Amino acid sequence: MNSSTEDPQQHGAPTGGHEDKPTGTPIRPPLRRPATGRVLAGVAAAIGRHFNVDVTIVRVAFAVLTVVGFTGLAYFGAIPLYLGGIPLYLACWLLIPEEGSEHSIVGRLLASRQHRPD
């Protein structure tokens, strides 16, 4: 085939649109807790979806951090691992917004306190 008649999309040439991203770079979905497919608050599902990782791996990581944290023996540098697991999950639950919402639980609380008359 003549090179002048070839389709530019076949060779990964930019065709307009999102040219600020390099070709082949995946665009991550926003970090949002899903309304369906969650076990507790949807934190593991949100992290798994955002980073394109199986949600089971994220859940196992939270479980391992929780179990290791209860032993009180493990340290990561100067940070004790008991600060992982449950406190990390709770912080993510409070800070990651749910699907269909622009603000997290903490964001809504702060916004309501700012708009409240003194």
pLDDT per residue over 51-88, tens digit each? 999 999 999 998 888 877 666 555 656 556 556 688 88
pLDDT at position 36? 86
- Range(s) of the domain holding residue 116: 38-118
Residue 7 domain flag: no
Residue 97 in domain: yes
Provide the domain count of the chain: 1
Q: What are 4-41's pLDDT values in tens digits? A: 444 444 444 444 444 445 566 678 888 999 988 888 89
Report how far residue 46's alpha carbon sits from residue 31's, in angstroms, rounded to the nearest whole number: 6
Q: Does some domain include residue 21?
A: no
Q: For residue 76, give both structure tokens.
A: 């990561």
CA–CA gap between residue 65 and residue 27 (Å, rounded): 29
- Rounded Cα distance between 67 and 5, Å, is 61
Would the pLDDT of 117 be above 90? no
Whole-model pTM: value is 0.65
Between the alpha carbon of residue 12 and those of residues 4, 6, 18, 22, 67, the distances in Å are 15, 12, 13, 10, 47
